[in-house]
Chain A
Amino acid sequence: MKITEEDLKRIRETLRDAYGSGDAASLGGAWRAEVMDRIRRLPSRETPAAFGEQFYRIAWRLVPAACILILILGITLFTVEFFPEYDLAKQFIEHPTAYTVARLLGIEV
């Protein structure tokens, strides 16, 4: 027998009556004591989290970003051609003063 939308409307009251049946639910004193006990054991809202805990929480949030950055840098280093000797010679020819100052300051260029 196919049940239509009209049928469903018709039996709604009967189903509601059955749905609402059953014993009344009442929670006793033991249940209340158990809930209060758990609530008292919850971490206090006023206690700020320890510095270490806060640091780790932030640090772990940055992990995905750091991984992506490392990946991008790795790919860039592999794809971009990098010749230190060539750059050094170019610096010496194009900016001899900067090259000399750098040498004087002890910077290995």
Chain B
Amino acid sequence: MRENEDAKGDVEIVGRILDGETDAFASLLSKYGDYVAGIVKRHVPYEEIADTAHEVFVRAYESLPTFKGTGGFQPWLASIAVRTCFDYWRARYRSREVPLSALTERHREWLENALSGEAVGMCSENESRKEGKEILDWALNRLPAEERMVLELVYLQEYSVKEAAALLGWTAANVKVRSFRARRKLRVLLSRMSERGERQ
């Protein structure tokens, strides 16, 4: 009931903005600012969250005439946020600005512990989580932007293929294929790391 009222309120605000009341956008910004930051945080480096979220809202404002109001404003905005993150990575890969960090012996141990089931307990500790995050960043930075996004959405955030496809604006078949490839590459990367304790 509350959600329905919220959705109606959003549609009304969008209508006012489209009628020329630009300042009404500030209420959408206050309402969904942290929601968008939460989505963006999962996909881009921490120091890029503010700029990327800024871009999301500018794109949302520019796309308001295409908002139909049927699915609700929040999912529509989530889709713009995910696509903006995808564009962020595409631009980074194009300009070859993706940081390729090195891993240490500690990371390899973390992976071995995770595989043996020990890391589940360890992961409650911040330090251990940080190591796990560094391993993930290391692996994700070695995947193409498309596979990176799909892996994050489907494997790490547990979206269904259909949901991920809607967020990215791709077909479900495309997401399925890329998800399969991304997981295979992740396996290869982690295997390589585990075997050699890769140092770069």
Seen from chain A, the residues whose Cβ lies within 8 Å of a Cβ on chain B are: 1-5, 7-8, 10-27, 31-32, 34-36, 38-40, 42, 44-46
Contact = CB atoms under 8 A, between A and B. Distances in A.
B141 interface: no
Nearest to A20: B42
A14 B120 contact: yes
Contact of B22 (A1, A23, A39): A39
A71 to B, nearest CB: 33
B14 interface: no
A19 B42 contact: yes
B97 to A, nearest CB: 21
Contacts, number: 122
Contacts of A5: 183, 187
5 contacts: A8-B190, A14-B114, A19-B152, A32-B30, A44-B20
A19 B136 contact: yes
Interface of B: 18, 20, 22-23, 25-26, 29-30, 33-34, 37-38, 40-42, 46, 49-50, 53-54, 57-58, 61-62, 65, 111-112, 114-115, 117, 119-120, 123, 126, 128-133, 135-136, 152, 155-158, 183, 186-187, 190-191, 194-195
Contacts of A21: 126, 129-130, 132-133
A88 to B, nearest CB: 61
A34 B58 CA distance: 11
A87 B148 CA distance: 70
A26 B53 CA distance: 11
Contacts of B40: 25
Contacts of A8: 183, 186-187, 190
A52 to B, nearest CB: 23
Given A25-B40, A36-B26, A17 B123 contact: yes
Contact of B54 (A10, A35, A40): A35
A22 B123 CA distance: 13
A19 B115 contact: no
A26 to B, nearest CB: 6
